[in-house]
Chain A
């Protein structure tokens, strides 16, 4: 039950808490991207793994994809360790 008084009080109160909510979401997202790289990296890693496996057998842990930022340039780094004596 909200009374008339609450109505007047809660209308303005919303705008700051809405701002806070939106900020918490966007900031958490952007920090995640900074730390882990873009959200598509895990999927990219899976797909690359599938392609490589057509030719050689590699374990899930043998591939590493990371995004580095060097001098304002985004660098995608891909590391695959191939099994020894593979033909």
Chain B
């Protein structure tokens, strides 16, 4: 049975695309046939993060409009077996994706893939609703700041009302909280919301936290999903998240600041 996973947040720039790339790469590394779809029509980004921007010929909108077939548009990853990208279109027509058209493409992908990961655009309008409509599961990406948490709560409301599962009275979309750009040192000093605070407010199951890390920017510069950088905290955190998502028991890491020596602490090093 294949599963459709939407990566969503409401607020922009919180790490949806980074997460979509890292998460789908992590699933594929574990042997699952995975496709990641860029729903951000007009603002194509995922291809850059995945490092396949020069191989884009046809895109998601072309397939929805039947101007090309799926196989022409799917880009096979060169590094990871079982991983495919369906890039977004650069068209300026934000309504190019229709519920029916997207439904056909997802149904066809379901015949071939274990996981279909949908990278949602920011906002709570048409594009975000298209990305979540067919979801079985949702990764709700949240930064530890008020506007992001509030927007996540709105997205949780939409997941419960604006999805195929909600409309057809099926089992609800399974939600997972993923906190990104987490800085435990700042939580300790009291100027950042803690993972516990955010869980308490949003009240959906917590999958894990991704630490704020310079390696994320470096990986995106190079077009390499962060899960391929085993040496980085953020990459390891994404691996943990994939494992937990698949039902493995993994202790939470990266939630507390690394202990500094007394001297370093006294001098704020």
B45 at interface by CB-CB < 8 Å: no
B187 at interface by CB-CB < 8 Å: yes
Docked complex Cα distance between A15 and B200 (Å): 17
Docked complex Cα distance between A22 and B147 (Å): 11
Which residues of A come within 8 Å of B, CB atoms? 12-17, 19-20, 22-24, 26-27, 30-31, 34, 69, 72
Q: Tell me the chain B residues, 136-168 only, with Cβ under 8 Å from chain A.
A: 145-146, 149-150, 153-154, 157, 161
The answer to whether A30 and B190 touch across the interface, beta carbons within 8 angstroms, is no
B230 at interface by CB-CB < 8 Å: no
The answer to whether B146 and A27 touch across the interface, beta carbons within 8 angstroms, is no
Docked complex Cα distance between A30 and B202 (Å): 12
CB-CB under 8 A for A22 and B190, given A27-B153, A30-B153, A31-B153: no
The answer to whether A20 and B190 touch across the interface, beta carbons within 8 angstroms, is no
The answer to whether B149 and A23 touch across the interface, beta carbons within 8 angstroms, is yes
**What are 13 A-to-B residue pairs whose CB atoms are below 8 Å?**
A12-B190, A13-B189, A14-B190, A16-B191, A16-B192, A19-B146, A20-B197, A22-B146, A23-B201, A27-B202, A30-B154, A30-B157, A31-B153
Q: How far is the CB of B151 from chain A (nearest CB, A)?
A: 11
What residues of chain A lie closer than 8 Å to B154, measured between beta carbons?
A: 30
B204 at interface by CB-CB < 8 Å: no
Q: How many B residues, CB 8 Å from partner?
A: 20
Q: How far is the CB of A31 from chain B (nearest CB, A)?
A: 7
Q: How far is the CB of B89 from chain A (nearest CB, A)?
A: 22
Q: Select which of A17, A23, A30 is within 8 A of B146 by beta carbon.
A: A23
What residues of chain A lie closer than 8 Å to B191, measured between beta carbons?
A: 12, 15-16
The answer to whether A24 and B201 touch across the interface, beta carbons within 8 angstroms, is yes
Docked complex Cα distance between A36 and B133 (Å): 23
Q: Select which of A12, A19, A20, A69 is within 8 A of B161 by beta carbon.
A: A69
Q: Select which of A12, A13, A27 is within 8 A of B201 by beta carbon.
A: A27
Docked complex Cα distance between A30 and B187 (Å): 26
Docked complex Cα distance between A31 and B231 (Å): 41
Q: How far is the CB of A79 from chain B (nearest CB, A)?
A: 21
What residues of chain A lie closer than 8 Å to B201, measured between beta carbons?
A: 20, 23-24, 27
Q: Select which of A13, A14, A31 is within 8 A of B157 by beta carbon.
A: A31
- Nearest B residue to A26 via CB reads B150
Docked complex Cα distance between A14 and B191 (Å): 7
B109 at interface by CB-CB < 8 Å: no
Docked complex Cα distance between A45 and B145 (Å): 38
What residues of chain B lie closer than 8 Å to A22, measured between beta carbons?
A: 146
B194 at interface by CB-CB < 8 Å: yes
Q: Select which of B145, B153, B202 is within 8 A of A19 by beta carbon.
A: B145
What residues of chain A lie closer than 8 Å to B48, measured between beta carbons?
A: none
What residues of chain A lie closer than 8 Å to B105, measured between beta carbons?
A: none
Q: How far is the CB of A28 from chain B (nearest CB, A)?
A: 9
The answer to whether B190 and A34 touch across the interface, beta carbons within 8 angstroms, is no
What residues of chain A lie closer than 8 Å to B200, measured between beta carbons?
A: 20
What residues of chain B lie closer than 8 Å to A26, measured between beta carbons?
A: 150
B193 at interface by CB-CB < 8 Å: yes
What residues of chain A lie closer than 8 Å to B202, measured between beta carbons?
A: 27
Most chain A CB atoms below 10 A, which of B125, B145, B149, B161: B149
Q: How far is the CB of A12 from chain B (nearest CB, A)?
A: 4
Q: Tell me the chain B residues, 185-237 only, with Cβ under 8 Å from chain A.
A: 187, 189-194, 197, 200-202
